[in-house]
Amino acid sequence: MGESSYNTMLYVGVILLKIIVIFGVVMLHVAYASYFERKVIGRMQVRLGPMVVGPYGLLQPIADGLKLFFKEDIIPADADKPVFYIAPIISLFAALSSLAVIPLFNGFVIANINVGLLFILAMSSLSSYGIIMAGWASNSKYSFLGGLRSSAQVISYEIALGLSLVGVMILAGSLNLTDIVRAQEKYPFGMFLIPQIIGCTIFVISGIAETNRAPFDLPEAESELVAGYFVEYSGMRFALFFVAEYMAMIIIAAVGIICFLGGWNGPFVIPYMPFAWFFVKLWVLLFIYYWVRATLPRYRYDHLMNLGWKVLIPLALTNIVITAIIKVLI
């Protein structure tokens, strides 16, 4: 074996190891994000949340996972079978592949590509295909309406989401996520939060809409559409959608951390745990997701569209112009 092929093997091995680590960490986060959500919303509604499985219900996500894994997989007779099979896989695939470009700490990233931010935006729009296909293939009116609403919503808010990140791109001068984090070090608090406060606000609002979370959860509005696009899914296929949804949440939160909150940098360095600040910020953002969900009622559909097209997009464009002028002047 030659020197170069040995190096290649090492390279591949390191990447595989990173994939295993990130996949494991994220799956654990998905499981406990659902537990955290139920606890937070429970406490906000003066309830306890899960308490039965394990101490303080800590094993609840594992019990849920096992239950979903062993449940019967029901496929509607009139469903479009191939599309029905593929849809959850597309959703999960899109969410999983976004993880490849997210740097957990300095230098720890599976693929340090130059168009990282663009890649994440592309993948998050790809995941809406899974939703639309699921809604169509289920051959059920609730699924179909959920799928339609989701496609309209994701298309509208993707624009605002992308535009809100343009200010960050201008300031950082790069689309590489690691470079964006490093560019923030000379700004107040090591964050783009202060110079990009408008962009950050737009990002948070459209990020919640992009991940179909309350108060923008029209695609899966329980009170009107039963469960929206995944009504007809059960067992493991439902679990795939569930995991994809929570993973999308974690990814949007991670993008927010990297673009506005200074990534892995914190007020002081925690020895031997370079990823600590990243996870602290991640859980704070997840808490805000749940906090918003526990507080706000669902938007009406036309209000949702008005907010997206008439408020957020013009605001994001203004933000870009202002940021560009400041960048040129300074």
Interacting positions 275-304 with other proteins (CB under 8 A):
291-292, 294-296
Under rule CB under 8 A, residue 11 binds other proteins:
no
Sole window of 14-22, 39-47, 79-87, 118-126 interacting with other proteins (rule: CB under 8 A): 39-47
Residue whose CB is less far from other proteins, 44 or 227: 44
226 vs 294, which CB is nearer to other proteins? Answer: 294
Kindly state the number of chain residues that form the binding site for other proteins, as judged by CB under 8 A. 14
Residues in 56-75 at the binding interface with other proteins, rule: CB under 8 A: none
CB 60 within 8 A of CB 51: no
Structure-token pair, residue 27:
């799956």
Task: Kindly identify the residues of this chain, within the stretch 239-258, that bind other proteins according to CB under 8 A.
Answer: none
Contact 247, 88 (CB under 8 A): no
How many whole angstroms separate alpha carbon 41 and alpha carbon 111? 36
Rounded CA gap, 205 and 159, in Å? Answer: 12
Closest by CA to 124, choosing from 142, 97, 100, 104, is: 97
Quote the least distance from Cβ 108 to other proteins, whole Å: 33
Helix (H) or strand (E) holding 97: helix 81-98
Closer to other proteins by CB, 51 or 305: give it.
51
Integer angstrom CA distances of residue 313 from 46, 104, 189, 261, 262: 37, 30, 27, 22, 24
Q: Are 8 and 221 in contact (CB under 8 A)?
A: no
Choose the binding region for other proteins from 3-11, 26-34, 36-44, 275-283 (rule: CB under 8 A).
36-44
| Residue 42 C-beta: closest distance to other proteins, Å | 7
Which of 20, 21, 28, 48 forms a contact with other proteins (CB under 8 A)? 48
Nearest distance in Å: CB 291, other proteins: 6
* Residue among 291 and 301 whose Cβ is closer to other proteins: 291
Q: Is 19 in the site for other proteins (CB under 8 A)?
A: no
Please give the full DSSP string across 266-309, using - where no structure is assigned: -SSPPTT-TTHHHHHHHHHHHHHHHHHHHHPPPPPHHHHHHIII
Q: Which of 18, 25, 42, 68 binds other proteins (CB under 8 A)?
A: 42
| Angle between helices 235-260 and 81-98 in degrees, nearest 10 | 30
Minimum separation from the CB atom of position 43 to other proteins (A): 5
Nearer to other proteins, 227 or 288 (CB): 288
Which residue's CB is nearer to other proteins, number 205 or number 251?
205
Residue closer to other proteins (CB basis): 42 or 266? 42
Question: Could you tell me the smallest distance in angstroms from the CB atom of residue 191 to other proteins?
Answer: 20
Out of 1, 46, 328, 329, point to the residue binding other proteins (CB under 8 A): 46
The verdict on 44 binding other proteins (CB under 8 A) reads yes
CB of 288 to other proteins, least distance (A): 9
- Residue 80 near residue 136 (C-beta atoms within 8 A): yes
Residue number, 205 or 231, with CB nearest to other proteins: 205
Q: Which is nearer to other proteins, 46 or 330 (CB)?
A: 46
Query: 84 CB contacts (<8 Å, ≥6 apart)?
Result: 75, 76, 134, 137, 138, 232
Report the alpha-carbon distance of residue 137 to residue 233 in Å, rounded. Answer: 11
Distance CA 142, CA 301 (A): 16
Contact footprint for other proteins (CB under 8 A): 40, 42-48, 51, 291-292, 294-296
